[in-house]
Amino acid sequence: MRIGATLRSAVLGVAVTLGLGLAAATPATAATVDRYLDLPLVNRDAAQAPGGVNPELPYDRDELGDLLEQARAQGIPPARYSALLYQYWLVDATGKAGIDLRAWDPRAGVGANRDNLIKSYRYYEDLQLGHRELQWAGMGGQVGADFGGGLIDFELMGADLYGLPGLADAAHRVLGAVHQAAGPAAVASLPSGLRALANAAPDITPEDVRYVIGMILVMQKNIFSDLMPMHDAYVTGGLPALREFEAAGLFGADIMAAWGDIASGVPDRVAAGNRVLLNREQGWVVSRQWDEVRAYRGDIGAALTYATGAAGSPSVAGVVPPREFNPVRVRFTTADGRPALLTLPLPDWDWSVFESRWDYISSELLPKYRYQVENNWPALEAAMRTPYEVQMESKRPLLNIPQLLSSAAGELRVTVLTPEAVS
């Protein structure tokens, strides 16, 4: 009896001990997961701070993965762990790109972010090289070289702005040529950004340039942070991984449908899906910030956004530069009463205005990049396999703005219109 009682006591003691251990472990595990539930995406906009989407979240991929598995195992709705899910895939994507997410600070300038630019766009192009359907990534990588080279030039302008004394003079030369050819009404019809450049160029300070650089780098990080976690999830876990994004509220049914199109293998659907991603990038991710830059400090923001568009030359084969797409055309009446048309090889639009930017992207970049993927892959692949440092350093457009404006003034044309043309 004593042995039996002792045995029963021992078994009970073990059971109680295990029970207490389980009771203690279960709340601890739940508390660990609970700590990261219902977190807001306070840093989804990289203008707020460096790092990930919420400062409460860890940066260790394995730790984030374990937390996600715990949340899933407990049947927690994805909407409650959306920040955790987002952070996991952002950490995974930046890790694969070789970027330190915790230290990624767009406000630190081009010098501090040069490696992040190169690694971001190298990752984009590598995704395209490995997955022919990921055309958004490939086009982003191609255009990123122009973008990065322009930022390097911008920083040089900020460091030695007055090393470009011809900027205001060149802009005034354009306005003077238009005035002489077509009168003051024609000058008033010129793009507001061009007129802003003539008015504001002497007042642009290095601080102004640094502000614009910071905002553009914020936009660059925002694009990566929004689109690259999706791409990483797609190539890692396929459409099921992206359905968890949708369930978490990180994007809507339109983006989920776009990914279905991209995965379909049907060329027209693949192109349509990538178009939706590009529209999200330009219309949802960065549109507001471009508006803020254009509105910055009176004419100064508009002058700088117009200048960047006028100087740009995208790397995608066959794409015309922005200055050749919807160039300046002003109708006027000559001194002897005849109708005439003034043309100028400068853009009649501003890159920072979404509707104008999307018109250019959807008319030029999207169809011509698709053509390259479907009809000239060897040449495109060769371009993408070029070291990205070389791709970026070969694109340095902004320092040529004074010469570009002066050239435009010299290429102004006036055409007297026939009655048929007038009608």
* Residue 56, CA atoms < 13 Å, CB-side half-sphere: 14
Note whether 101 and 123 are within 8 A (CB).
Answer: no
- In this predicted structure, what is the pLDDT of residue 30? 43
Tokens of 336: 């002897």
pLDDT of residue 107: 93
Residue 416, amino acid: V
Are 179 and 187 in contact by the 8 Å Cβ rule? The answer is yes
- Spatial CA neighbour of 288 closest among 205, 349, 222, 225: 222
Nearest-Å Rg of the Cα atoms of the chain is 28
Mean pLDDT per block of 10 residues along the chain (423 residues) reads 37 33 37 90 95 97 97 98 98 98 95 94 98 97 83 67 67 96 97 94 87 92 98 98 98 98 98 98 96 96 91 87 94 95 97 96 96 97 94 71 88 91 64
pLDDT (0 to 100) of residue 335: 93
| Strand spans (E) along 149-264 | none
pLDDT tens figures, 55-93: 999 999 999 999 999 999 999 999 999 999 999 999 999
- Cβ-Cβ contacts under 8 Å for 143 (sequence gap 6 or more): 314, 315, 316, 365
Q: Which residues are CB-neighbours of 280 under 8 A, at least 6 positions away?
A: 226, 227, 251, 255
Structural contact between residues 45 and 86, judged by C-beta atoms closer than 8 angstroms: no
What is the phi/psi pair of residue 349, to 5°? -155, 170
pLDDT of residue 314: 84
C-alpha angle 75/73/81, rounded to 5°?
60
Q: Is the dihedral of CA 61, 63, 66, 70 positive or negative?
A: negative
**Residue (of 263, 281, 262) closest to 273 by Cα position:** 262
Structure tokens at 402: 């004074």
The pair phi, psi for residue 8, each rounded to 5°, is: -60, -40
CA distance 318 to 263: 27
Q: What is the pLDDT of residue 312?
A: 81
Q: Which sequence spans correspond to the domains of the chain?
A: 61-422
User: What's this model's pTM, rounded to 2 decimal places?
Assistant: 0.89
pLDDT at residue 149, as a whole number: 75
Cα separation, 357 vs 330, in Å, equals: 21
Joined together, the tokens standing for residue 219 give 């936009």
| Centroid of chain to Cα 343 | 32
- The DSSP secondary structure of 314-378, one letter per residue, reads --STTPPPGGGSSEEEEEEE-TTS-EEEEEEEEESS-TTSHHHHHHHIIIIIHHHHHHHHHH-HH
**HEC profile for 48-74?**
CCCCCCCCCCCCCHHHHHHHHHHHHHC
Q: Say what the pLDDT of residue 157 is.
A: 64
Q: Please report, for residues 67, 176, 316, 369, the alpha-carbon distance to residue 379 in angstroms, rounded to integers and kept in the order given.
A: 44, 44, 11, 12
Question: What region, left, alpha or beta, does residue 332 occupy, with left being phi > 0 and alpha being psi -120 to 50 degrees?
Answer: beta
Identify the bridge partners of residue 416 per DSSP, sorted by sequence position.
340
Exposed/middle/buried for 257, CB within 10 Å: 0-12, 13-18, 19+?
middle
What pLDDT score was predicted for residue 397?
Answer: 61
